[in-house]
Amino acid sequence: NEKPTLIGENCTIGHQALLHACTLEDRAFVGMQACIMDDAVLQSDSMVAAGSLVTPGKVVRSGELWGGRPAKRMRLLTDDEVAFILKSAEFYQELAAKHRHAMS
């Protein structure tokens, strides 16, 4: 019984991150080398710090920063950090478009 990995719009997934049978809602941010396990959910406008391990079934709620191994709630995100999540996704989308254009 395979479970899908679902990724919403405008998410940022850092280098070497591992996503396994989890759900990232719109504007979720996963730091570099973080691991998000089975049935975990990152709600919209949430952030997981680099190197963190979100264990199976955990829910990272909107506006929260989680970190550690295993990850736990560290604090609420600031308004600037929430705004950064969308800016990050837009930056990588623009970078991908430039790369696509350069390769064609």
**pLDDT digit string (tens) for the chain, length 104 residues:** 689 999 999 999 999 999 999 999 999 999 999 999 999 999 999 999 999 999 999 999 999 999 999 999 999 999 999 999 999 999 999 999 998 888 88
Model pLDDT, residue 1? 64
Q: Is residue 74 part of a domain?
A: yes
- Give the number of domains in the chain: 1
Question: Residue 27 sits in a domain of what CATH number?
Answer: 2.160.10.10
Cα angle for residues 99, 102, 103 (degrees, 5° grid) = 85
Contacts of 100 (CB under 8 A, 6+ apart): none
Q: Is residue 61 part of a domain?
A: yes
Q: Is residue 1 part of a domain?
A: no
Model pLDDT, residue 100? 87
Domain around 98: 6-103
Model pLDDT, residue 41? 98
